[in-house]
Amino acid sequence: MSKFNKEQKIEIYRKWKDEKISISQLSKAYKMNIANLDYMLRLIDMHGTNILNTRKRVYSKKFKEQTIEQAIFGTKSDVQLSLELGFKSIGMLNNWLREYKEKAFTSLLYTNLNNFGGLPERLAEAVPTSLNIFLCVFLKSELSILSTLVCLKIA
């Protein structure tokens, strides 16, 4: 999606809201991805045009953890949660979730390897130990399948 300034975004929103121009027509006219355009319009519709005044925000670790927990265990979709929290794009929450899952898998893998003497102590200390129960159960089952396959191949 091309970068648009605040005035252009408001103009697009007004055309959609007041002139009832469809999202697909606006998408073609402004050469925007339909999903990104739809998200932007819904965000402005929910929070008003003042949402466009906010600068890049830095989120605390605690806020990120709470948001990830809501995304995993909550009943709202990622898009709905992102809209309610006022994120400028759906990509922010998706990136947080992807990073969380990657770190959880890496942590679980290293923890299990260390229990069998397969990970250097210095590296094991650097790996975070807190894991989400949901991911832990899922990844443990995946890891047990992999370790069984490795044992069969070695034997």
The span from the CA of 155 to the CA of 152, in Å, is: 5
The span from the CA of 48 to the CA of 117, in Å, is: 56
If asked whether residues 144 and 79 sit together in one domain, one would say yes
pLDDT at residue 90, as a whole number: 85
The span from the CA of 97 to the CA of 102, in Å, is: 9
Classify residue 50 by its DSSP letter. G
If asked whether residues 13 and 66 sit together in one domain, one would say no
If asked whether residues 79 and 48 sit together in one domain, one would say no
Contact assessment for residue 12 and residue 4, using Cβ atoms and an 8 Å cutoff = yes
If asked whether residues 68 and 128 sit together in one domain, one would say yes
Choose the final residue of a domain: 31, 54, 77: 54
Choose the final residue of a domain: 12, 30, 54: 54
How high does pLDDT run on average in the chain? 76
If asked whether residues 65 and 50 sit together in one domain, one would say no
The span from the CA of 106 to the CA of 5, in Å, is: 40
What pTM value is reported for the model?
Answer: 0.66
Burial of residue 43, with CB atoms counted within 10 A of its CB: 0-12 exposed, 13-18 middle, 19 or more buried? buried
If asked whether residues 77 and 152 sit together in one domain, one would say yes
If asked whether residues 69 and 108 sit together in one domain, one would say yes
Tell me how many domains the chain contains. 2
If asked whether residues 147 and 86 sit together in one domain, one would say yes
Classify residue 112 by its DSSP letter. H
pLDDT at residue 74, as a whole number: 86
Q: Dihedral sign, CA of 100, 84, 80, 58?
A: negative
If asked whether residues 82 and 132 sit together in one domain, one would say yes
Each residue of 71-92: pLDDT tens digit?
A: 888 889 999 999 999 999 889 9
| Residue-number span of the structural domain to which 12 is assigned | 1-54
Q: Looking at the predicted structure, is the pLDDT value of residue 129 above 50?
A: no
If asked whether residues 76 and 90 sit together in one domain, one would say yes
Q: pLDDT-based confidence at 56, cuts 50/70/90?
A: confident
If asked whether residues 48 and 65 sit together in one domain, one would say no
If asked whether residues 24 and 78 sit together in one domain, one would say no
